[in-house]
Structure 1
């Protein structure tokens, strides 16, 4: 059991805070935080398999169908930094509960949606709740467990749960869509969210930095607007191409807004993102690795789901169940990593994980119209996801060990932002690449199944290149100190 002082972190001072409170068991803190993380990551991919059913039920057009996914991704990526900083300044438990409550309410609204506008709006609010919630999960862990093996094991569990949530999205979405309806893909969050809210109220205690400061509202508006514009422009390239004003205007606007944000932060007395953090080697290198790996791994679920349903003609539930070995593999890699960290250089573990994952995706690029589960899905998927799991814990541990307690939430937000933006950019590049290959193969007279397989195969091959780059970038991480392993 973790000592009470380590679980409570820095407590706020008030007249009601004078009465001692008994510390919650370490497992209870870990369970509550990981459950919140699972919900956040699950909803990144859970709707993918359910989109055809949503389209039929609500009459979604092609653009509306795209925004069911992008509405969540944009607000999630855009507000992560604000959520992380708010947790540091106003209390991690308070922000955790607020984010989870908003996410749960938006899930209910989305599950009961009667038209496309209601559904897309609910998904956008879900993303906002996730952005508030996600950074607090890691910062609560790093301020509740002492630096060293105990914290490493806690982060490993958090990484495994997050990885499992992303991997389980297709499984959960396919199962619920086939057995109940697409609405339960969203409604399932309501009872789970309610239980986690109760657990948070019982087991989490308030903690924040020792000095309470005002939130940097101008910085928050600029970084949110810049990231959102950039993500919107990236999303638009899939429909209009990179040279279209539909894409260029938000992309250029996003870059200019982020440049203005940098200038404002450099002059602010109490900035949202202290620019000195980017001079911390552990923070800068970890975010670079996560950006590169996110560009590859987010797209794997998307393209593999399309391949199984559009080429191999799997049902939603069969496609979801086919991801089960992937889920087990990524969780296994996440749990093995801390054991290896006690014996090996963390940088070597990240590099090996990226290399293993890249090999799996090169194998996966051999998808064909007559592919089989055993021959082209199982083996490559296990390699790719096991390697991805190995990378997560040492990268997160390296980043969080390089900053003070009062900035844990901010760095957690940066890590999530890098991963989400890498995923958004990577998916867009890969989708454009795959579409070009599919069009070329179709015009050359190939069958639909053959053209689709060729396009998806190229996407997997480019994903492997992203992961190979992440493996090389791992050597930029700082060498771990003895207490970190």
Structure 2
């Protein structure tokens, strides 16, 4: 690895890199608030509406490992700058989209360039702050921005949609991109991995096609789980991912070193990350629809109404951080998902004429408290026992698990919503808003079952003493993006 230089501009570099982290996380939620208006203006079907979110998460998650390798081999600053330009261009394309296909394509391109930006920014941060108090401070700032990004996205998306136009939820990225490019050129130093570095081309191809086929297969389940297309894509995805594992076990420089995921504790952490991603990306999207479509909230009010979830997470995070060395991660990883499940089960009792403060707010607070106890130990467990040179790959894998879990979860939730709402309205003649509510309720209940499963996974996989489970040294300071 090239020797890092202690830059006199390192704190300005931190501002630039934190700005990048903000825009990547923010774009996972900012469009959610705008979707109801975008759907009306562009005439999107429910399936196309889902893919506006899925395209970003899928491209981001599937390409993240490759993006990290490109940054290491091609140059982190160069990858960062190219990612910024591409992300800005994709945002303009999406902001000017005239139909659903263009909007979905733009979101996929945003995810592609975010997969270059995120690992490049994390690697640059690691090379800029190499040790000591400055490093701990830098990673704390970086992690805090990640935690706040989702909330900022909801509020900013609501304000732009209500007081300007939904298209500004995409076009606003240009302000971040311009600042990022100027700051990157001025304050970031180039670095890249030394030696003979070869890309794992076949590994990249099989994992990208495998994940894409799997997510698309789940999205087709809206039309029936037994259809030939659904089964074919799901089966094809499994075969391609099996081929990816086979390739990674044989190449000299794998895209994903298998020892990262083969470890029992880390493997369990990645599975829990995938389930948590499905809830945070999928279930919260349907909460947005309920707030706007059924309860009739304006976009900005909807963003405010979603905020207690993020606030609760941020309130619990410092408490969980202090408790972690005392209790170890296992109690939090078992109990946290159960608390989220209780919140989701409570949320599943919503009615079309219900009150936000009675039916929604308590559920969001419970979910936020539970997620706070999940996310803090999860970041540590993702790096448990990982050698320093594999910390970046482990971090990228954790983020990929969340994004791909969100993509698959959203596809499953959409199929459940469509089946429930369609049956309720079509067979019983129930009014449309009540049918919508039935569909949303079913998705929340399914998400609750998923979080119970996450608790079971934690009980089975997260085993060992506190010393064994909590990583030591610099690797512990690493955080995954998103």
TM-score class normalised by the smaller sequence: 0.7 to 0.9
Q: Which residue of 2 aligns with 1:229?
A: 213
Q: Which residue of 2 aligns with 1:172?
A: 156
Q: Which residue of 2 aligns with 1:6?
A: none
Paired with 1:164 and 1:328, the residues of 2 have a C-alpha distance of: 9
Counterpart selection for 1:11 from 2, 22, 26 = 2
Report how far residue 184 of structure 1 moved.
0.4
Counterpart selection for 1:302 from 285, 303, 322 = 285
Residues 34 and 158 in structure 1, CA contact (< 8 A), matched pair in contact too? yes
Q: Which residue of 1 aligns with 2:404?
A: 421
Residues 350 and 394 in structure 1, CA contact (< 8 A), matched pair in contact too? yes
Paired with 2:365 and 2:418, the residues of 1 have a C-alpha distance of: 26
Paired with 1:104 and 1:424, the residues of 2 have a C-alpha distance of: 23
The number of equivalent residue pairs is 468
Paired with 1:198 and 1:336, the residues of 2 have a C-alpha distance of: 37
Counterpart selection for 1:322 from 271, 295, 305 = 305
Paired with 2:208 and 2:295, the residues of 1 have a C-alpha distance of: 40
Aligned with 2:383: secondary structure?
Answer: helix
> Per-residue CA shift, 1:47-76, capped at 9, x if unaligned?
233234334444545554444333323322
Q: Which residue of 2 aligns with 1:244?
A: 227
Residues 421 and 436 in structure 2, CA contact (< 8 A), matched pair in contact too? yes
| Mapping of residues 81-480 of structure 1, within 5 Å | 81-141=65-125, 157-238=141-222, 240-442=223-425, 443-475=427-459, 476-477=461-462, 478-480=468-470
Change (3 A) 1:211 1:408: farther
Report how far residue 42 of structure 1 moved.
2.0
Paired with 1:472 and 1:97, the residues of 2 have a C-alpha distance of: 42
Report how far residue 285 of structure 1 moved.
2.6
Aligned with 1:170: secondary structure?
Answer: helix
Report which stretch shifted further, 58-67 or 408-417: 58-67
Residues 75 and 125 in structure 1, CA contact (< 8 A), matched pair in contact too? yes
Give TM-score, length-normalised by structure 1: 0.86
Residues 26 and 150 in structure 2, CA contact (< 8 A), matched pair in contact too? yes
Change (3 A) 1:116 1:454: closer
Change (3 A) 1:274 1:46: same
Report how far residue 82 of structure 1 moved.
0.7
> Per-residue CA shift, 1:361-381, capped at 9, x if unaligned?
222222112221211222211
Change (3 A) 1:60 1:307: closer
Paired with 2:40 and 2:189, the residues of 1 have a C-alpha distance of: 45
Report how far residue 384 of structure 1 moved.
0.5
Change (3 A) 1:355 1:237: same
Residues 155 and 396 in structure 1, CA contact (< 8 A), matched pair in contact too? no
Residues 160 and 335 in structure 1, CA contact (< 8 A), matched pair in contact too? no
Change (3 A) 1:83 1:479: same
Change (3 A) 1:182 1:354: same
Aligned with 2:340: secondary structure?
Answer: helix
Q: Which residue of 2 aligns with 1:4?
A: none
Paired with 1:236 and 1:246, the residues of 2 have a C-alpha distance of: 7
Report how far residue 186 of structure 1 moved.
0.3
Report how far residue 354 of structure 1 moved.
2.2
Q: Which blocks of at least 5 consecutive residues in structure 2 are unaligned? A: 463-467, 478-482
Report how far residue 46 of structure 1 moved.
2.1
Change (3 A) 1:318 1:386: same
Residues 330 and 385 in structure 1, CA contact (< 8 A), matched pair in contact too? yes
Q: Which residue of 2 aligns with 1:49?
A: 33
Residues 58 and 404 in structure 2, CA contact (< 8 A), matched pair in contact too? no
> Per-residue CA shift, 1:191-214, capped at 9, x if unaligned?
112212333344443444454511
Paired with 1:91 and 1:333, the residues of 2 have a C-alpha distance of: 38
Report which stretch shifted further, 109-118 or 33-42: 109-118
Report how far residue 139 of structure 1 moved.
4.4
Change (3 A) 1:342 1:200: farther
Cα root mean square deviation, aligned? 2.9
Report whether the alignment pairs 1:77 with 2:61: yes
Residues 63 and 115 in structure 2, CA contact (< 8 A), matched pair in contact too? yes
Residues 261 and 267 in structure 2, CA contact (< 8 A), matched pair in contact too? yes
Report how far residue 155 of structure 1 moved.
5.1
Q: Which residue of 2 aligns with 1:7?
A: none
Residues 89 and 212 in structure 1, CA contact (< 8 A), matched pair in contact too? no
Paired with 2:81 and 2:152, the residues of 1 have a C-alpha distance of: 24
Moved over 6 A (4+): 146-153
> Per-residue CA shift, 1:305-364, capped at 9, x if unaligned?
111122212122221221122232223233443233343313333333323322222222
Q: Which residue of 2 aligns with 1:37?
A: 21
